[in-house]
Amino acid sequence: MTACFNEMFEGGSVRPPYARLQDWMAAMPAELRQMKQAEAESLFRRIGITFAVYGEGGDPDRLIPFDMFPRVFSAGEWARLERGIKQRARALNAFLVDVYGRGEILRAGRIPSRLVYQNEAYEQAVAGFVPPRGVYSHIVGIDLVRTGPEDFFVLEDNCRTPSGVSYMLENREIMMRMFPDLFRENRIEPVDSYPEKLRRTLASVAPAKCDREPTVVILTPGHFNSAYYEHSFLADLMGVELVEGQDLFVEGEFVFMRTTEGPKRVDVIYRRIDDAFIDPLCFRPDSMLGVPGLMDVYRSGGVSICSAPGAGVADDKAVYTFVPEMIRFYLGEEPILQNVPTWQCGKAEDLKYVLSHLPELVVKEVHGSGGYGMLVGPKSTVDQVETFRAKILANPSNYIAQPTLALSTTPTFVAEGVAPRHVDLRPYCLVGERIELVPGGLTRVALTEGSLVVNSSQGGGVKDTWVLAE
């Protein structure tokens, strides 16, 4: 693995986006830093920003570690990222409309049909249905990594229910409270318009039968879900109701919400539950989280579900390898953002390469998420590599492999002072009547020295992400 790109320092000098942070960093003594860190943790705790980690004993809710050193992008860097993210979101939605319709990209032989039609995320229940405005994925979380001044790669696409946007908003709020002078000295693009943009996006995809100002709700699995804080946080900021499946019911051609003033019709459901649990009459019959009959109303144009059932086939890690081809096929453009080179273990030649280079590669389950079910070869023991080899051989098509990229680092406050740590970025692209995203995103940081795993479920932390105004 080559040397890592440090986003703040290059050739012994501070890079321009970070110029004003150098003095701030140097002027902060250890005692003040520790005091501010404790203040941030106290604010997070008071506000209730916790993250449940499944499978852990004791209190399931814990704080995500917050690093006070912001990550900074120049206006020019962000402009390029924004163009690439929007391009990708357009192509992913075009792909979803196509594969649930005529399947032109499959007929043209650009993507193997089996990757789509035999994919467990492909929902036959919506085949032939085109959702309002032809949008399947309304909130696209695109995970990006950086390896050099001009080199950005898409690690994966999240087209179903990408989480973490509450941390993007709260990180900014807490930084502004603790370091108001920093914001006066730096012209930083705001992110607080996200809830308004999200609500506008959801309202813009109201169903065909909605003949008035649409009623939007957020459907949550409940307070035991790891992202429940985010569900309630967004509902509050958007001024919409947070509901569970038992709060909704189907009558005739519509969905209604139980309220103290009687039933109220619901037009748009921003669902934060998986496809399998949406409707027990259509998907898992044992689901207690969904709404019986919801899919019939959805298909008849009585309600919109965001993101649409079936959107997950576009963020499958095997389908991911074909997104550049989607961009060329549907948009007639060259990809602005590149994929990470990827080997599909279901292909004989790729499998042979992966097995012979396993200690050098990152291997992921096709449907895995949260940093689980993966092997980081260079950071693994011989036993771990061999155990994973057996898993791959047992079910090759369940795995993809990628080179171990030299992820960029940003300065991070650690016990001994300031040190570089690896980061990634998840911006949130909203797709409805228009495509837009706020200037910023969730920067996740691997707090362990040398670690490349940034997921909060695996011990990673978060940072505020700044985009400088021009």
3-class SS letters over 190-232: CCCCHHHHHHHHHHHCCCCCCCCCCCEEEECCCCCCCCHHHHH
Q: What percent of the chain has pLDDT over 70?
A: 95
Report the relative pairing of strands 399-403 and 361-365 from DSSP bridges. Answer: antiparallel
Q: How does residue 449 score in pLDDT terms, banded at 50, 70 and 90? A: confident
What is the Cα–Cα distance from 64 to 461, expressed in whole angstroms? Answer: 6
pLDDT score at 57: 42
pLDDT at 416: 78
Q: What angle do CA 453, 365, 451 make, to 5 degrees?
A: 10
**pLDDT of the residue at 457:** 64
How much is the pLDDT for 282?
96
Which pTM was predicted? 0.92
**Mean confidence (pLDDT) of the chain:** 92
pLDDT for the residue numbered 43:
87
Q: Which pLDDT does position 56 carry in this prediction?
A: 42
| Rounded CA separation 466/439 (Å) | 8
Question: 347 or 78: which carries more pLDDT confidence?
Answer: 78
pLDDT at 369: 61
Stated as kind and residue range, the H or E segment containing 305 is strand 304-306
- The mean per-residue pLDDT over the stretch 311-324 comes to 93
Residues belonging to the chain: 470
Between CA 275 and CA 124 the distance in angstroms is 12
Q: Describe the strand order of the beta sheet including 268-271 as a list of residue ranges.
A: 241-243, 216-219, 268-271, 304-306
How confident is the model over 137-168, as pLDDT tens digits?
999 999 999 999 999 999 999 999 999 999 99
Are 304 and 298 in contact, with CB atoms under 8 Å apart? Answer: yes
Section 356-369 average pLDDT: 86
Query: Minimum mean pLDDT among 32-46, 56-70, 129-143, 397-411: which range?
Result: 56-70
| Residue 293 pLDDT grade (very low, low, confident, very high; cuts 50, 70, 90) | very high
pLDDT band at 53 (very low <50, low <70, confident <90, very high): very low
Tens of pLDDT along 237-266?
999 999 999 999 999 999 999 999 999 999
Go through the domains of the chain in sequence order and give each one's CATH number.
9-336+406-467 (no CATH), 342-403 (3.30.1490.270)
Report how far apart, in Å, the C-alpha atoms of 440 and of each of 40, 137, 339 are. Answer: 20, 20, 21
